[in-house]
Structure 1
């Protein structure tokens, strides 16, 4: 059930109507029921998996909270981590590593053909697993009390707006909202939710899906048939496809949750205006980058044990962050490139030559251009089906730069669809306020909303595309 489908909005309208007529306990039971229905629409066979993950971590949280001995607390934490991560590994990575092992054995002459193990990937398994893991770790750290209400905890894990593709909300933020009366959808919440939903739908329907077929042409064609201009424009198209797709989902999730009285964490903050890799990861998929920082980078030692160990911790964190995205070496290398880039930027900054807030405008412009294009080049590796394809496309960037009909069409469509949105984000960036539009006269909001709606009505994509992060 996609957010950009009529079916979802009929579903949400019914959910909100009944929800508004219930008290707290009834609201929680109702939301839990419709969340399981929502997930079952993707594949009902995996409902037992999310229920098992919920029971496992609910029980572990109670055991950790009740244990007085440090070893017992570590045991129950380790017990929940091992089982949760093992389930994630089986469904998401077992087939990949089995195939890679068989290829290695084949090169050694020990097997004749590679083994193929196909395991269906449950939608959103990385997201609800990380939700659960953050809870047990927070209980162990005593950052959050153990939940003693199973319905509230189950709703925290399975809350349908953020269930399949995030954002990843911490127990310290979302779980307390399950146990207290939520505010009604008053004028303020309706305006904020409408802004988030309309901008999210625009990002998905107009930006992401119209860029999808342009990017798809480059990544499905033979590299030798493409010019350098076509490859670069195709990478630009994918950069805005994945941004519009994921940021659009997160925005709609936050908007629908806002209408229901919940506050979810902001997941994107104009990432393509970043001036450095560190700045980029403070703006892109914020809920994952902060999760990796708090539950992986800092426990590894963070920046406490000298420069080289800091660089190591950055690299390990980003390698695992790349692997989180999927079972492919391209994702691992993508994460590794970002880890090396972060380490190099940190070393450069330590030398006294790093970026500063007081940099002249021309320096900021250069840093923005460099950061944006390095991010785009890493997207090439992320999107490619193999290293061979990524390398071949990278080499084509040095080939002929003739403006072919495809290149001219792509450049025109990027300018038509992307530039007005970037102008709006530049205005938000100048004010450093995600909700700045809600603080201006209603006339200007109406103008933007009319533009968003007309673009969705008159410029739908040739072929609607599934949300990319449903597979992560």
Structure 2
């Protein structure tokens, strides 16, 4: 079941109504409803993989309780390693088994040895990269004594399977989300209205921006040999808007839906294309994943402390691992390595924390210097997206080399004029709301209610009239 489907349009109001009808009963009943609804939501795609979610839930719930019962360092480490092996093992098998087998075979073929591989027809369970990291952070935080384990299995099961963010994040920490299941939630009309606004904006980003861009992106990337450099450059830029509209749109919908049920999820995107350097970009892009790797991989490795060699090593590890998390393909590893190369000069020159405020914080427009920095950062990011979108490293390099010729100055492929208008409107609204949690959070709120609702109806009409061909969310494949 996906957010931009008729199934979800029927599912959400039913669950919402039942949820608030039982708010005056036992809190566990509300949490149980969330578990049941979440399992239905996930099982709608393939009910067989519900066993994986349940297994991860049981393992980490049990390990959390055991960690709290013993102070023996050896036993605690064994329990932590068990959690890591189970979660990473499941993720590794379903996501990376065939990748490692095929590369193992290719490495022997390079030396003239032929091996008959035993690859498997493995289906990647939707969301496994997200909920395994979520449960894994729970046991790590307990091991580090940052969190007390829960004895409420229903609350923990609801935390692991919470349907708004189950299949594509944000990756929530137990320290933030789990305690919210212990607290009685009362219906708040203002909070729900805010949730509906964020859902509406997320749908606009996904259906109007991302899905319309996807039509041209697929055409250009699938036939890149036939197009001019200018069209290829346009295709790369459209993919930059597609992936941002698609993934941040999902996050907006997830956060908005959560707010309908009285929960607060953390911001996952903070207007990353207004960043003035790559370090700022990564503080604003997929925040829940970036901070996960920072806290559980980068800092334990030593972070930015130690010798210059250690700093370089840690940066490459964190970005390459992040790239590999996205998929079993060398394109993602190269994508991660390129971002590491972008980031390293800032770290080594101690410039990685220069831009921590909002761009043009006290003015309407950015300065010339800020505009130039944003443009360069966007272009560098767009070029690396070519590797993210391409099927292979060779095709990505070929795509980029075809951009760099005289045809870059030719007229690019013509797009529907309305797409340019929508992208411009999108950029203007995002710029206007760059200080907020999402683009339209406070837009028109100080205007009379007829004007507010006219704006919401306009967005809704654009979604219905100009929604591109229905596409699954990009991050479902991760």
- TM-score, with structure 2 as normaliser: 0.93
Report if the CA contact (8 A) 1:318-1:336 is conserved: yes
Report if the CA contact (8 A) 2:232-2:399 is conserved: yes
Residue 130 of structure 2 is aligned to residue 127 of structure 1: yes
Offset at residue 17 of structure 1 (A):
0.9
Report if the CA contact (8 A) 1:106-1:114 is conserved: no
SS in 2 for 1:7: helix
Question: Alpha-carbon deviations, 1:265-315, whole Å to 9, x = none?
Answer: 111111111111111111110110111111111111111213332222111
Report if the CA contact (8 A) 1:227-1:397 is conserved: yes
Report if the CA contact (8 A) 2:63-2:139 is conserved: yes
Which residue number in structure 2 is paired with residue 238 of structure 1? 239
Give the distance between the partners of 1:177 and 1:450, measured in 2 at CA: 33
Give the distance between the partners of 1:16 and 1:322, measured in 2 at CA: 36
SS in 2 for 1:122: coil
Give the distance between the partners of 2:344 and 2:444, measured in 1 at CA: 38
Give the distance between the partners of 2:375 and 2:309, measured in 1 at CA: 28
Offset at residue 114 of structure 1 (A):
5.6
Within 5 Å, give how 1:32-431 maps onto structure 2.
32-111=35-114, 116-184=119-187, 186-221=188-223, 223-350=224-351, 361-399=367-405, 400-401=407-408, 403-404=410-411, 407-409=413-415, 412-429=417-434, 431=435
Which residue number in structure 1 is paired with residue 8 of structure 2? 8
Report if the CA contact (8 A) 1:156-1:174 is conserved: yes
Offset at residue 83 of structure 1 (A):
1.5
Residue 447 of structure 2 is aligned to residue 446 of structure 1: no
Question: Alpha-carbon deviations, 1:338-361, whole Å to 9, x = none?
Answer: 112111222244599x66979992
Give the distance between the partners of 2:69 and 2:444, measured in 1 at CA: 46
Report if the CA contact (8 A) 1:98-1:117 is conserved: no
Report if the CA contact (8 A) 1:230-1:407 is conserved: yes
Judged with a 3 Å threshold, the aligned counterparts in structure 2 of structure 1 residues 444 and 346 are, in CA distance, closer, same or farther, namely: farther
Number of residues of Structure 1 aligned to a counterpart in Structure 2: 465
Report if the CA contact (8 A) 2:2-2:8 is conserved: yes
Offset at residue 433 of structure 1 (A):
5.7
Report if the CA contact (8 A) 1:96-1:328 is conserved: yes
Report if the CA contact (8 A) 2:67-2:79 is conserved: yes
Unaligned runs of 5+ in 1: none
Deviates more, 1:395-404 or 1:95-104: 395-404
Give the distance between the partners of 2:8 and 2:414, measured in 1 at CA: 36
Deviates more, 1:66-75 or 1:147-156: 66-75
Offset at residue 195 of structure 1 (A):
1.1
Give the distance between the partners of 1:317 and 1:118, measured in 2 at CA: 30
Unaligned runs of 5+ in 2: 361-365
- TM-score, with structure 1 as normaliser: 0.94
Give the distance between the partners of 1:42 and 1:374, measured in 2 at CA: 36
